[in-house]
Amino acid sequence: MPIIPTTLTNRALSLIILLSVVWCSCSKPENKDLTFLDNVKLESSILKVETLQDSLEVPWDIAITNNNFLFFTEQYGAISYINLETHQQQKLLVIPEVWHQRTAGLLAMAVHPDFKQNPYVYVHYTTKTDTLIFNKLVRYTFKGDTLESPKELLKVKGFKAHNGGRITFSKSGKILWATGDAYHGDESQDLNFLNGKILRLNPDGSIPADNPNPKSYVWARGFRNMQGITVTNKGNVFTSEHGDAIEDEVNLIEKNRNYGWPAIEGLHNLPEEIVFAQANNTKEPVKSWTPVIAPAGIAYYGSASIPEWNNSLLLTTLKGQSLRVLKLNEEGKAIVSEEIFFENYYGRLRDVCVDANGVIYISTSNKDWKPQVDFPLPGDDKILKISISDKVLKKPLTGLKAQATLQHLNAAQLYQSYCVSCHQADGKGVKDVFPALAGSAMVNGPSTGLIKAVLNGINRKENPQKMPSFAFLKDQELADILIYIRQNWGNQASKINETEIAQNR
């Protein structure tokens, strides 16, 4: 108990206390408490999920620096950071040039691996002038509380959709930039175009001398729309990619390999795909998903902090609304199991990253162009923090082992698996992009026209979006789906049977 001179009045004393409190809070910022959300039970570990940050607008990319900042982009154009010790957030910049529409905008970001020495933030965003759409790779320098000296490293063709993309650093310190096909699949195969590729650059934007062609940025080709990229402890590079109607992929990226799009979709299992594969130095995905899950950000987990997840790929999904833990084999090149967490719980998940202590961060995407029924949740979008916990405060969530084989799906599940991502659960579609099936003349019209459309796909001149073919579905499955869409949401057309489907193939 300190001795207080009796000459001090009570008022003077309280002033001293007040001043010392003010002084303390200036010199050392108050740590912001995080909101506890859930516990998760693994085989032996207990995890906790907390909200690191809320009220964001589609935090598209999150990345951690080696001095403990979490940087994040918001799709409309903002870059901010959170100090992971104090949890204080700071907005650094809004890039005016960003063109934000549907899946275009400020997308990927990577921080230099040695951020203390090289405080560089690399971003990928879409721009539009008149009718020209581009994706730019720009390097900013972090200084004080802003990002300055933007340097444009590369500009690649863009589109309203399929802009990709993600950025990361390889083990040898090179930039890897995953670009989308910009809706021109054929260009993914053409080495004269930089869309639909993995591009490899030196950190200053120049072309590395050991690229397949020392005059070209292209490292690998044949991609549709990549949404995630990560490098493992062994230096293996994995990407996640959206398939068309089927076959989402995770790929292991190797120098100069061809990943097949648009000639090959997913596994190399059709006769014409096998012919293409034999002639083109292709590499098959390490994993493929049908029905699609819309994989997004991917991050390697190589920490003993959560032992059950050590040596796996963490994959966030949008349509699948989940975090998938894809265990790797010893060599780190193949996926041996898949476990699903948070399914339909926090909503669409856009990105994931891991800090040096094995703490995981994921970002939600419930305010993007495709919000799901019952979302956004209060406080969306959020960045969630997942870490080891020593206590259980709430009945814990658990994981779900992914099914090895597809079970028989009923009509509603078939619609959910193959059609809902575009035409939506209420059959109303997405305005100006995906037509409504509720009240549609084609859906309610003669069965032959409808069957042919769904078997062959639809590609009308006036709509830049095309509908993929669903010929891969069995006759019975297609009949079930078509009856479902003809007899839901107020539609009242006649049934269709599997013989009719077979006759129209």
Q: How far is the CB of 206 from ligand HEC (least distance, A)?
A: 38
Shortest Å distance, C-beta 410 to ligand HEC: 14
| Token code pair at residue 109 | 């970001």
140 binds ligand HEC (CB under 6 A): no
Out of 454, 479, 496, 501, the only residue in the binding site for ligand HEC (CB under 6 A) is 454
Binding to ligand HEC by residue 471, rule CB under 6 A? no
Selected binder of ligand HEC within 246, 294, 467, 496 (CB under 6 A): 467
Q: Please answer whether residues 221 and 213 qualify as being in contact, where contact means their C-beta atoms are separated by less than 8 angstroms.
A: no
Binding mask 254-283 for ligand HEC (x = CB under 6 A): ------------------------------
User: Is residue 161 within the footprint of ligand HEC (CB under 6 A)?
Assistant: no
Regarding 459 and contact with ligand HEC (CB under 6 A), the answer is yes
Task: Measure the CA–CA gap between 112 and 203, rounded to whole angstroms.
Answer: 8
For ligand HEC, the closer of residues 222 and 468 by Cβ is 468
Give the number of other Cβ atoms within 10 Å of residue 43's Cβ.
7
By CB under 6 A, which span of 129-137, 246-254, 303-311, 461-469 interacts with ligand HEC? Answer: 461-469
The site string for ligand HEC over 482-501 (x = CB under 6 A, - otherwise) reads ---x----------------
DSSP 76-104: TTEEEEEETTT--EEEEEE-TT---BTTB
3-state helix, strand, coil in the chain (%, to 5): 15, 35, 50
Torsion of CA 47, 48, 52, 53, to 10 degrees: 120
Nearer to ligand HEC, 173 or 445 (CB): 445
Tokens matching residue 264 = 């090959």
Q: Compute the distance between CA of residue 117 and CA of residue 362 in angstroms, rounded to an integer.
A: 27
Cα angle 72, 334, 255 (rounded to 5 degrees) comes to: 70
According to the binding rule CB under 6 A, does residue 409 interact with ligand HEC?
no
Cβ pair 207, 201 in contact under 8 A: yes
Which residue among 93, 110, 419, 438 contacts ligand HEC (CB under 6 A)? 419
Q: Considering the complex, what minimum distance in angstroms separates the CB of residue 65 from ligand HEC?
A: 37
277 in Cβ contact with 262 (< 8 Å): no
Choosing from 411, 422, 430, 455, the residue that interacts with ligand HEC (CB under 6 A) is 422
Which span sits near ligand HEC by CB under 6 A: 105-113, 146-154, 326-334, 465-473? 465-473
| Helical packing angle, 475-486 and 411-418, nearest 10° | 90
Counting every residue written for the chain, the total comes to 505
Distance separating alpha carbons of residues 263 and 274, to the nearest angstrom: 10
| Closer CB to ligand HEC, 297 or 435, in the complex | 435
- Residues making contact with ligand HEC (CB under 6 A): 245, 418-419, 421-423, 434-435, 437, 440, 442-443, 450, 453-454, 458-460, 463, 465-468, 470, 481, 485
